[in-house]
Amino acid sequence: MSGLVESLGTTDALSRLFSDAVVLGAMLQVEAALARAQARTGVISDHVADVIAAAARPDEFDAAAIGAAARASATPVIALVDRLRQRVEAIDASCAAYVHKGATSQDVVDTALALVLQSARAVLRLDHERLERALRDLSDRHASTIMTGRTLLQPALPITFGLKAAGWYAAVRRSWRRLSIACDEGIVLQFGGPAGTLSAVGADGLKVSEALAAELSLPLPDAPWHSHRDRFAAIAAAFGIYTGTLGKIARDVSLLMQQEVAEAAEPGGGSSSMPHKQNPAGCAIALAAAVRTPGLVAAFLAAMVQEHERAVGGWQSEWPTMAAIVQAAGAAAQAMAEAIAGLRVDEARMAANLRAAGIGGDADLGAAEQLRQRLLEGA
């Protein structure tokens, strides 16, 4: 798919993570680590592992060809392994039989995705933390800035902007915490062989599994999970909730930025036709992510009903869905981190709008400040 087509739904860093080079690299990293793990546990010799690792160099593989071949077998791994085996053969033909030994396609695809998700999480964390800090600062700065509280888009009662920002902060923080837990639990090794029994590596299957997990710095789960996708589904859903939370903030900011309201404005972006127009471009990015993501999460959940030991269609549908979910979250986090960090707040306008609304600027906002502090502390 086109970078252009995806451009508003990713970031530079995340689009690189899901690029052919990185994804191919992750798959080859799994194959090499498998060989090393088998060497470590005495299943194969160190020499074989070294040859396989030497052959597993991403720049010697043609991602486009592997992608095209994937359509004939419903997996990219056959073509990948064929090419890897050829390269191993060229170095030392006696090693070729040990390539991909004991593994199945989905071991490679799932573990590679786990590796990419691990990296994506680290990338996303930077923007998330920037956003969290910016929201906290915003709330503190405006602890006593009084403004119109709005319900059903109508003036209701006064609030403080500090409370509003603290609500954003706590929601983002809760959502991130859920996402972190889902990632901690769900980003794990996949290794089970064709039917998930480890039988293809013999009685030492579990030792190889442990070694492989250690090689890749991934947790070893209780057992292979080829057709049990709840862990990945929980990650997808947690991303979805995180993005939904960012979308809520973006909605609020874009509404506050309306010229008729003019209480806050993100640094924003321009227009192709009206040079002096200031657009809530960051909010647009985050809202675009929030509007797409629920359907993507549904697509992921729908794939959970997988047949027997490895499914026909279920897991094959997951990769692009997860990639889109993660990148959309990252696009939203980056956009909102910038929007909030650079948010211009017009306190005078807030006061004026509140007066115009005629909803009692003399309200007691003591409890509001208590709530604000609870939100900043407690989440």
| Whole-number CA gyration radius for the chain | 25
Q: Which of 40, 136, 292, 310 is catalytic?
A: 310
> Which helix (H) or strand (E) is 88 found in, with range?
helix 77-91
Q: How far is the CB of 319 from its own copies (least distance, A)?
A: 5
Q: How far is the CB of 45 from its own copies (least distance, A)?
A: 21
Work out the burial of residue 339: count CB atoms within 10 Å of its CB; fewer than 13 is exposed, 13-18 middle, 19 or more buried.
Answer: buried
Helices 105-141, 230-256: inter-axial angle, 10-degree rounding? 30
Q: What are phi and psi for residue 314, nearest 5 degrees?
A: -60, -65
Q: Which of 271, 344, 355, 374 is catalytic?
A: 271
Closest by Cα among 242, 234, 224 to 329: 242
Nearer to its own copies, 5 or 46 (CB): 5
Q: How far is the CB of 140 from its own copies (least distance, A)?
A: 16
Closest by Cα among 217, 247, 200, 256 to 44: 200
Task: Name residues whose C-beta falls within 8 Å of residue 125's C-beta, 6 or more positions apart in sequence.
Answer: none
Q: Is 52 helix (H, G, I), strand (E, B) or coil?
A: helix
Nearer to its own copies, 46 or 142 (CB): 142
Closest by Cα among 159, 160, 148 to 357: 148
Task: Name residues whose C-beta falls within 8 Å of residue 86's C-beta, 6 or more positions apart in sequence.
Answer: none
Q: How far is the CB of 136 from its own copies (least distance, A)?
A: 14
Q: How far is the CB of 248 from its own copies (least distance, A)?
A: 5
Known catalytic residue: 40? no
Nearer to its own copies, 47 or 355 (CB): 355
Nearer to its own copies, 214 or 234 (CB): 234
Q: How far is the CB of 212 from its own copies (least distance, A)?
A: 14
Nearer to its own copies, 49 or 169 (CB): 169
Known catalytic residue: 310? yes
Nearer to its own copies, 129 or 307 (CB): 307
Closest by Cα among 251, 248, 263, 230 to 354: 263
Contact 107, 30 (CB under 8 A): yes
**Residues involved in catalysis:** 271, 310
